[in-house]
Amino acid sequence: KGIVMNPDRVELVRKRFGLTKSGFAAKLGVDRRTIQRFETGEGEFPQGCLDKLCAFSGFAREYFLNPASPEFPNPDGVSFRSLRSLTAGKRDAAMAAGAIAFEFDDWVSDEYTRPPHDLIQADDVTPAAAAAQLRAHWGIGLRPISNAVNLLEAHGVRIFSLAEETRHLDAYSLWRNDKPYIFLNTTKTAERSRQDAFHELGHLVMHRHKGSAHA
């Protein structure tokens, strides 16, 4: 007998770890068709596999029993670096990381008051001009910036780290519900992460309605 679980949440975790349906089935010790039927709503999750899923993923049982489906980033609105070299599996893992971040961010927003963003929209200007406009808007002029993450979070940018399974990806950014998000690869050097943070800030300011085509 199967367990009543949310197939969208199970699929999200599978993608978060970059697993194909066959690879996922092998970790759970079941047939690929069992996973296929479950994800399409044609079958139940196999009895005895929930503990295995929780053990290898690190997610609690309650996460998979939650009936609310997660919200994935809209791929048309995401600015990915090196999009042509990004495989479907790696892209799915990055988007799944975004979906998990959305759920956590919504919980934080329900519990705490955070500053709204005050990013400008700088269309059809050079990166240097956009940077100058934003520095002026934030009142920092030409002064050096000591901590990129602190500065961006103070101005309402949501910043999350990417999971180990997305270490191939430097960073990505997007807008959601008028909130700016940046996802950074924390396995890079501090200098590289700083560069990536400001690169993605440029996308948020200059390419708000253009998405991944301009990554």
161, 184 contact by CB (below 8 A): yes
Q: What is the distance between the alpha carbons of residues 191 and 147, in angstroms, rounded to a whole number?
A: 11
Within 8 A by CB and 6+ apart from 174, the residues are 73, 74, 77, 78, 79, 98, 180, 181, 211
Q: What is the distance between the alpha carbons of residues 44 and 39, in angstroms, rounded to a whole number?
A: 9
Torsion 10-16-20-24 (CA) sign: negative
Q: Which H or E run includes 183?
A: strand 179-184
- Which pLDDT value is given to residue 25? 92
- Which pLDDT value is given to residue 162? 82
73, 182 contact by CB (below 8 A): no
Q: What is the CA radius of gyration of the chain?
A: 19
The predicted-structure confidence for 184-211, as pLDDT tens digits, reads as follows: 988 888 898 899 999 999 999 998 866 5
Q: Is pLDDT at 39 greater than 90 in this prediction? A: no
Mean pLDDT of 36-55: 87
The predicted-structure confidence for 78-110, as pLDDT tens digits, reads as follows: 877 655 567 778 888 888 989 999 999 999 999
Torsion 21-22-24-25 (CA) sign: positive
DSSP string, 67-81: -SPPPPP-GGGEEET
160, 101 contact by CB (below 8 A): yes
- Which pLDDT value is given to residue 214? 40
Integer CA distances (angstroms), 203 to 29, 36, 135, in order: 43, 37, 15
**pLDDT, mean over the chain:** 87
